[in-house]
Copies of this chain bind each other. A is one copy, B any other.
Amino acid sequence: MYNEIDYTLMATVRDVAERAGVSPITVSRVINNAGYISGATRAKVEAAIAELGYVPNTLARSLRSKRSHTLAFITTDITNPFFTSMARGIEDAASAAGYTVLFCNTDESVEKEDRYVRLLLQKQTDGILLVPAGSSPRSVDLLRSQDTPVVVLDRAIEPLKADVVRCDSVRSSYDLIRVLLERGHRRIAALGGPVGISTADDRIAGYTHAMKEAGLPTRDLVIYGQFTESSGFEMAQSVLALSPRPTGLFATNNFVALGAIRAIEAHGLRIPQDVSVVAFDDVPPVLAQYAFLTVIAQPAYQMGQKAVELLLQRLQDEAPPEYRQVILPTHLIVRGSVGLAPDARGSVVTAPK
């Protein structure tokens, strides 16, 4: 019996080494540009690599070196333009640093999230970018127990045991409500998201703060639901049925806003003549010219980039021991969906100091 080389199989370092008349480790050094290699040896090895059409096996490399150079982005729905931009920011930053990214959609289900986290752990993913589906630190804890660093995006979870990149939902919502108050609106309803999700809670908190500060009641005007279009439709239906009808609507998310607009149209009401609308999240940049909603735009792409930056720092032990919280600034864009309150009788509330 003799060694039989099957040239139909994919070449390995061993094959290349044999062909170049060197040892496998020398081939490895050439591939990785590591250590000292003489020009002649390098040339021989590179020739052999070309002749055999050799492609290094990253799996084997990762197994040995304990680094997969793969990150994962777990989000609720990549189809939401907000998360699509974020994903693009993540991909660009990761790719520039030599990492590839796995994308996972949880559809706001903690079970799916849990399944993905376990899968990614098995795949030896170096780090995870997570938009948590729930409010519990469960996934973060599981990842920490396996020494896999996480950066939490968009939403906060308590207690804080990971770096976080997000925006200030409380403050931004406050600003949005002020836009309505300054135009004389006094009955303003808030269409909320899922209770427990930090962004949902914070946005309601910002609304409540602005209303209380203006001495206005919020009873019956706050309603909770899901971050979906159908939920937005239903929530809007129910607040539009109130008497007297609110003159301002605050949609806490882009999908909710779309549902709300549909409901307003279904009621035969006009925006902004009958009802003014403000919302969180802008339309995708490419559609910006058709936008008519007054919104708080969040820097999704930059959030993705920043999160990767923090994650890579952790992976390279360049991060401080304590967890960091990066709050990126939002951008208020006032458009045609807001107008003076129809019932404003000169009693327009002015901006506080």
Contact = CB atoms under 8 A, between A and B. Distances in A.
Interface in A57-112: 57-60, 62-63, 68, 70, 77-79, 81, 84-85, 87-88, 91-92, 95, 100-105
Interface in A268-289: 283-284, 286-287, 289
A165 B101 CA distance: 25
Contact of A255 (B122, B229, B286): B286
The complex is assembled from copies of this chain, and their number is 2
Contacts of A229: 286
Judged by DSSP, the binding face of A is helix
A146 interface: yes
A286 B227 CA distance: 13
B122 A57 contact: yes
Contact of A105 (B55, B81, B88): B88
A102 B102 contact: yes
Contacts of A255: 286
Nearest to A63: B59
A58 B123 CA distance: 5
Contact size class for A? 35 or more
Contacts of A59: 59, 62-63, 68, 123-124
Contacts of A56: 122
Contacts of A123: 58-59, 70, 100
A30 interface: no
A53 interface: yes
Among A77, A95, A119, A123, chain B packs the most CB atoms within 10 A around the CB of A123
B79 A284 contact: yes
Nearest to A229: B286
A87 B103 contact: yes
Contact of A286 (B91, B100, B258): B258
29 contacts: A10-B147, A55-B118, A55-B121, A57-B124, A59-B59, A59-B63, A59-B68, A60-B63, A78-B78, A78-B88, A78-B91, A79-B85, A79-B88, A81-B81, A81-B84, A81-B284, A84-B84, A88-B105, A91-B104, A100-B123, A101-B102, A103-B103, A255-B286, A258-B286, A258-B287, A283-B287, A284-B284, A287-B287, A290-B290
Interface of A: 10, 53, 55-60, 62-63, 68, 70, 77-79, 81, 84-85, 87-88, 91-92, 95, 100-105, 118-119, 121-124, 145-147, 229, 255, 258, 261-262, 283-284, 286-287, 289-290
